[in-house]
Structure 1
Amino acid sequence: MARKKPAVDKGFVMFDVVYQDGARTSNRKVPSADLGGLDGDDPARAFIEGQDRKIAEMSGNPRGPIKTITRSPGQ
C-alpha cells in the first residue's frame, strides 16, 4: 500500500482581484510569509499593487485601482 506524502507548504497564496473598472484577474501569487499575523490578508493588497506597478512600467498600460481581493477557491 502506498503512503501519502505529507502536505508541503507551497510558499504562496493565490488571490482573485477585481478592479474598479470591472476587470478581474485570478490566481495572483502572494508569498505566504507576507500574510498572517494581526493583519491577516491585508498585506496582499500592497503586494499585488506593487506587482501591478511593475507590470505597468514594463507594458506602459497602467491598471486601475483595486476594488476587492479574495482568496482563490480551492485552497
Structure 2
Amino acid sequence: MLRSKQKPKVQDTGYVLFDVYYDDGSRRSNRRVPRTATLEMDADAAIRQVIEEQDRDIAEKSGRPPLAITKILRSDG
C-alpha cells in the first residue's frame, strides 16, 4: 500500500526586523524579534517586551544603563 506524502505543517519560525528609536535620538536598525511575538493578541506589547529584554541583556554586558524606547517600527528591508 502506497502512502501519500503529507503536506508539511506551516511553522512560525524566523524573525521580523524592527527599527528601534530611543529618547536620546539614536536608532538601532534591524532588531530581530521572533515571528511568534508578532502573532500575539497584543503584538505591540509582545514586540516591545522582546526588544526591552534584548536591551537589558546588552546593557548588562556593556555596563551601561538601557535607554528608554520612544518608538518601534517594522524595518523596510
* Alignment TM-score, normalising by the size of structure 2: 0.76
Q: Post-superposition shift, 1:10? A: 5.8
How many percent identity over aligned positions? 52
1:10-29 correspondence runs (5 A)? 11-29=14-32
Contact 2:17-2:32 at 8 Å conserved across structures = yes
Q: Distance in 2 between matches of 1:63 and 1:23?
A: 12
1:2-13 correspondence runs (5 A)? 11-13=14-16
1:32 aligns with 2:39: no
Q: Give unpaired runs (5+ residues) of structure 1.
A: 1-8
Count of aligned pairs between the two proteins: 67
Q: Post-superposition shift, 1:20? A: 0.7
1:52 aligns with 2:55: yes
Letter in 1 for 2:21: V
Q: Higher Cα Rg: structure 1 or 2?
A: 2
SS at match of 2:53: helix
> C-alpha offsets along residues 12-48 of structure 1, whole Å, 9 cap, x if unaligned?
0000000011110000000001222321333111101
Question: How large is the RMSD of aligned CA atoms in angstroms?
Answer: 1.8
Give 4+ residue runs of structure 1 displaced > 2 Å after superposition.
none
SS at match of 1:43: helix
